[in-house]
Amino acid sequence: MPELPEMEIVARRLDAALPGETIESALAPGINALKTFDPPLHALEGRRFTGVRRRGKLLMLELDDLVVLLHLMSAGRLQLHPKRAGLRDKTSRLLLRLPDDRELRVREFGTKQAAWVKVLRAGELDADEAMTGLGPEAWPDPPPLRELLDAPRPLHTLLRDQQVIAGIGRTWVDEILNVARLSPFKRGDDLSDEEAEVLRDAMVSELGRVIDVYEEKVDLPLPEKFPKPTRVHAHQGEPCPQCGTVLEAVFYEDYVMTYCPRDQTEGRVLKDRRLSRLLK
């Protein structure tokens, strides 16, 4: 589940490896994740990488006057492999092959097809709808959160809304709210100035902590599975890293929200899945 820290380290590693390299061939085998047709995918062939950047959870592969914009969603993976894959690998969505046999590969696991790729002219990037809707970056220097989160919605939802603030998903939101000692169900418009400041500090420090871990542990070829330096998310039943109380969780259909009842919900244990009942 790549979020800001994962994409940040991917961008750093690829930006150190790819500029100057030329794409020999570009293929989109299997289920089509390509959302654009002009310029065509083969326009990438013969082009040179000039840089790799991240915005929110999006990655931008820059190739002179073209940009490959990609979003891995929840089940996508991006890897720079030392060797080419066979075309029969059903998880492959995009293959950018280099002349030395290395291959930048977007794969997607699971049953849903959600990861996507766009080939854009560099001048069109900023106007693309995936970019224009994004809120400010959650790291390293987000704006003050009091006004940004001023909405009658729970923090757990607001912080994951990419149009509100870009980069956070289901994993790191649990860590951030635990460090800030705030309930996932507290409404954004109920934050005091002080709480908003504490939350901003927690966001910057947690995302920074994770990026530091990756900086030390993640190298090329990018791993199939990232190390997950989580202390709260999906650690229900284990002690809270702040106070030692047993962490509790609310289970949703396809994810889990983990929190400390002592630090975050005034001792209340919330096991019901339906948000509406918890918000009353």
Using alpha carbons, list the distances in angstroms from residue 67 to 1, 43, 116, 211, 279: 23, 11, 14, 25, 43
Question: Which of 16, 114, 243, 269 forms a contact with Zn ion (CB under 5 A)?
Answer: 243
Q: Supply the minimum distance, in Å, between the C-beta of residue 259 and Zn ion.
A: 9
Q: Which is nearer to Zn ion, 53 or 262 (CB)?
A: 262
- Contact between 263 and Zn ion per CB under 5 A: yes
Question: Which of 240, 249, 250, 270 forms a contact with Zn ion (CB under 5 A)?
Answer: 240
Q: Which is nearer to Zn ion, 73 or 180 (CB)?
A: 180
Q: Which is nearer to Zn ion, 26 or 203 (CB)?
A: 203
Q: Supply the minimum distance, in Å, between the C-beta of residue 209 and Zn ion.
A: 17
Q: Which is nearer to Zn ion, 63 or 260 (CB)?
A: 260
Element (H, E) at 251: strand 248-251
List the structure tokens of 106.
């977007």
- CA separation for the pair 165, 186 (Å, rounded): 17
Q: What is the DSSP string of 210-235?
A: HHHHHHHH--SSPPSS-----SSTT-
Q: Supply the minimum distance, in Å, between the C-beta of residue 260 and Zn ion.
A: 3
- Contact between 245 and Zn ion per CB under 5 A: yes
- Contact between 242 and Zn ion per CB under 5 A: yes
Q: Which is nearer to Zn ion, 171 or 265 (CB)?
A: 265
Exposure of 18 in the CB half-sphere (CA atoms within 13 A): 30
- CA separation for the pair 63, 31 (Å, rounded): 24
- Contact between 174 and Zn ion per CB under 5 A: no
Mention every residue, 6+ apart, whose C-beta is less than 8 A from residue 275: 154, 185
Q: Which is nearer to Zn ion, 187 or 262 (CB)?
A: 262
Q: Supply the minimum distance, in Å, between the C-beta of residue 84 and Zn ion.
A: 48
Q: Walk across the sheet containing 76-81 and list its strands.
A: 25-27, 92-97, 103-108, 76-81
Q: Supply the minimum distance, in Å, between the C-beta of residue 246 and Zn ion.
A: 9
Q: Supply the minimum distance, in Å, between the C-beta of residue 255 and Zn ion.
A: 21
Q: Supply the minimum distance, in Å, between the C-beta of residue 198 and Zn ion.
A: 15
- Cα 261 → chain centroid: 27
- CA separation for the pair 104, 10 (Å, rounded): 12
- Contact between 236 and Zn ion per CB under 5 A: no
- Contact between 260 and Zn ion per CB under 5 A: yes
- Contact between 66 and Zn ion per CB under 5 A: no
Are the C-beta atoms of 75 and 31 separated by less than 8 Å? Answer: no
Q: Which is nearer to Zn ion, 22 or 230 (CB)?
A: 230
Alpha-helical segments (H) within the chain: 4-17, 129-132, 145-148, 155-158, 170-180, 193-217, 261-264, 275-278
Residues 89-108 close enough to bind Zn ion by CB under 5 A: none
Residues in contact with Zn ion by the rule CB under 5 A:
240, 242-243, 245, 260, 262-263
